[in-house]
């Protein structure tokens, strides 16, 4: 589906961004490790989180979305009942993670400890993404894994088993890799020590600890001791800051904007986008800070701002990486130069996000050059309309949608319904902010 976005004279209103995709995946997968039944409130309605439920069902987990009675004020909820990892069944067919890297890498970590044969695959984009980073340590722990591309690409066949704990230096600061290994470590014999090159999102550590797991942080090292029984727990998922980021940029770059975003997760391992936008001069404030289910949550306010170029790199990258496409748009509309470095991991996302972002924003008149590990963006203060393509990447489709609100003419986006991966209500929310 194509979508045409016209410039807006004003942006105003309140939005509740959709449920956090990362926390939703974890609520379903980590709770399934232990036997029991739990309720997840505000589970993400995005396609990625549905892929996770499909994979869990094939292993023997019951995952049922319960809709409230007509007229009730209640929201739909997800009820999960798991027999526990020890009682999972051999899946009859292939586990299909579709477009979701989080689903595939997490499920691989879980299958490291199951003694039967499973095959995992995904859509064309996911089948091209690197899985060797998970395969190698799982093999060191004792799992058998084979796949395409010298065992680094899906489809991958896994026969897990009696794993042994390892000390492992992670080659990339990836929360998906870290989470896969934390799950494998919970069912291994002996202690596992993971050494991270930099901090990445820590929802898995927080949730596992809350469920009773022995996961200790020592600087960038994580020490896991198997043993304690995991207790599944009910979870209420807050709004996704990676989805809120589109409105934060829209509000900051639009000359006549005031937007309130309620109930957004502000875990410090996710809030790099707030730091970068404030550094650029954006007016973003937090209100009603509170804790929900072990995660910090707040309401965010953003207003029209004059933005300037900044340097983004180093340890900031893992905590801002999903927001780089929309920050590149902010940089193109700012004054001065923005340099993004150390972001080579973005080449292995749903698209090569450095190349795809540079290509599409260039079509709108932005001055962007690619570095092997980043982007250099000369801010020009204004962009023109034009025809663009999402490259099948939800975050790029939404970035181009935000561009359309501030460009001089309409922006036409091909393959725009890919936003359903993380934010099915995105286009409706965009229209609801128009004050004209
Ligand atoms: C995610 C981790 C990130 C991020 C992805 C979701 C997660 O990837 O890009 O959208 O939920 O763990 P990395 O594994 O590269 O950190």
Mutate to test the pocket of ligand 1, among 19, 22, 422 (most ligand atoms within 8 A of CB): 22
Atom of ligand 1 nearest to the CA of 177: 14
Does residue 175's CB lie within 6 angstroms of at least one atom of ligand 1? yes
Question: What is the reported pLDDT for 358?
Answer: 98
Q: 436 pLDDT band (50/70/90 cuts)?
A: low
What does the DSSP assignment read for 193-248?
EEE-SS----HHHHHHHHTT-EEEEETTEEEEE--SPP----EE--B-HHHHHHHH
Average pLDDT of the chain to the nearest whole number = 97
Based on DSSP, count helices (H) and strands (E) in the chain, helices before strands. 14, 23
User: What is the CA(376)–ligand 1 centre distance, in A?
Assistant: 23
Minimal-distance CA residue to ligand 1 atom 10: 322
73 against 108, higher pLDDT:
108
Residue 157 CB coordination number (10 Å): 16
Is residue 176 within 6 Å of ligand 1 at its C-beta?
yes
Q: pTM here? A: 0.97
Q: Give me ligand 1 centre to Cα 299, in Å.
A: 23
Q: Are 388 and 363 in contact (CB under 8 A)?
A: yes
Enclosing H/E stretch for 373:
none
Q: What number does the ligand 1 atom closest to the CA of 348 have?
A: 15
The span from the CA of 248 to the CA of 29, in Å, is 30
- Residue 435 has a pLDDT of 78
Instruction: For 222-257, write each residue's pLDDT tens digit.
Output: 999 999 999 999 999 999 999 999 999 999 999 999
Nearest ligand 1 atom to the CA of 26 is 11
- Ligand 1 atom showing the smallest separation from residue 176 Cα: 14
- 156 pLDDT band, cuts 50/70/90, is very high
First to last CA, the chain: 25
Q: Can you tell me the distance from the alpha carbon of 98 to that of 394, in angstroms, rounded to the nearest whole number?
A: 14
**pLDDT (tens digit, 9 = 90+) per residue, 32-77?**
999 999 999 999 999 999 999 999 999 999 999 998 888 887 888 9
Q: Is the CB of 345 under 6 A from ligand 1?
A: yes
Q: List pLDDT tens digits, range 196-214.
A: 999 999 999 999 999 999 9
- Cβ contacts of 314-318, under 8 Å, gap ≥ 24: 314/198, 314/341, 314/342, 315/198, 315/199, 316/272, 316/275, 316/276, 317/173, 317/198, 317/342, 317/343, 317/345, 318/173, 318/174, 318/175, 318/198, 318/199, 318/200, 318/201, 318/345
Q: Atom 4 of ligand 1 has which residue's CA nearest to it?
A: 322
Does any ligand 1 atom lie closer than 6 A to the CB of residue 174? yes
Task: Convert the pLDDT of each residue in 379-419 to its tens digit.
Answer: 998 999 999 999 999 999 999 999 999 999 999 999 999 99
Averaged pLDDT for residues 125-132: 98
- Is the pLDDT confidence value at 359 over 70? yes
- Percent of residues, the chain, with pLDDT higher than 90: 96
pLDDT of residue 14: 98
């Amino acid at each position: 589906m194509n979508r045409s976005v016209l410039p807006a004279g004003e942006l105003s209103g309140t939005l509740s961004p959709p449920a956090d995709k990362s926390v939703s995946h974890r609520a379903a997968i980590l709770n399934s490790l232990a036997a029991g039944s739990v309720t997840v409130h505000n589970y993400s309605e995005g396609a990625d989180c549905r892929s996770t439920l499909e994979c869990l069902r094939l292993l023997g987990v019951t995952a049922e979305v319960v809709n409230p009675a007509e007229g009730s004020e209640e929201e739909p909820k997800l009820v999960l009942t798991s027999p526990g990892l020890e009682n999972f069944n051999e899946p009859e067919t292939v586990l299909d993670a579709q477009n979701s890297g989080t689903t595939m890498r997490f499920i691989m970590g879980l299958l490291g400890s199951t003694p039967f044969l499973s095959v995992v695959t995904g859509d064309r984009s996911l089948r091209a993404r690197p899985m060797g980073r998970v395969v190698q340590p799982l093999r060191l722990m004792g799992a058998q894994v084979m796949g395409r591309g010298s065992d680094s690409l899906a489809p991958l066949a896994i026969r897990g088993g009696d794993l042994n704990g390892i000390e492992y230096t992670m080659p990339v600061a990836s929360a998906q890799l870290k989470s896969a290994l934390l799950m494998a470590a919970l069912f291994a014999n002996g202690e596992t020590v993971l050494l991270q090159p930099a901090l990445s999102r820590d929802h898995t550590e927080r949730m596992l600890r809350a469920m009773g797991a022995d996961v200790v942080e020592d600087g960038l090292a994580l020490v896991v001791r198997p043993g304690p029984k995991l207790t599944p727990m009910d979870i209420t998922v807050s709004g996704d800051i990676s989805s809120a980021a589109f409105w934060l940029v829209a509000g900051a770059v639009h000359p006549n904007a005031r937007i309130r975003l309620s109930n957004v997760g502000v875990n410090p391992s996710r809030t790099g986008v707030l730091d970068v936008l404030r550094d650029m001069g954006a007016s973003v404030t937090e209100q009603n800070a509170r804790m929900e289910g072990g995660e910090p949550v707040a309401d965010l306010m953003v207003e029209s701002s004059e933005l300037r170029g900044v340097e983004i790199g180093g340890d900031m990258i893992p905590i801002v990486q999903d927001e780089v496409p929309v920050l590149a748009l902010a940089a193109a509309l700012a004054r001065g130069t923005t340099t993004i470095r150390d972001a080579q991991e973005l080449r292995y996302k749903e698209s090569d996000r450095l190349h795809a972002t540079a290509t599409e924003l260039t079509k709108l008149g932005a001055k962007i050059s690619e570095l092997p590990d980043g982007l250099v963006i000369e801010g020009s203060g204004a962009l023109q309309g034009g025809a663009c393509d999402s490259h099948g990447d939800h975050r790029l489709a939404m970035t181009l949608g935000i561009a359309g609100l501030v460009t001089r003419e309409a922006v036409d986006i091909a393959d725009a319904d890919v936003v359903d991966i993380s934010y099915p209500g995105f286009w409706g929310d965009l229209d609801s902010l128009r004050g004209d």
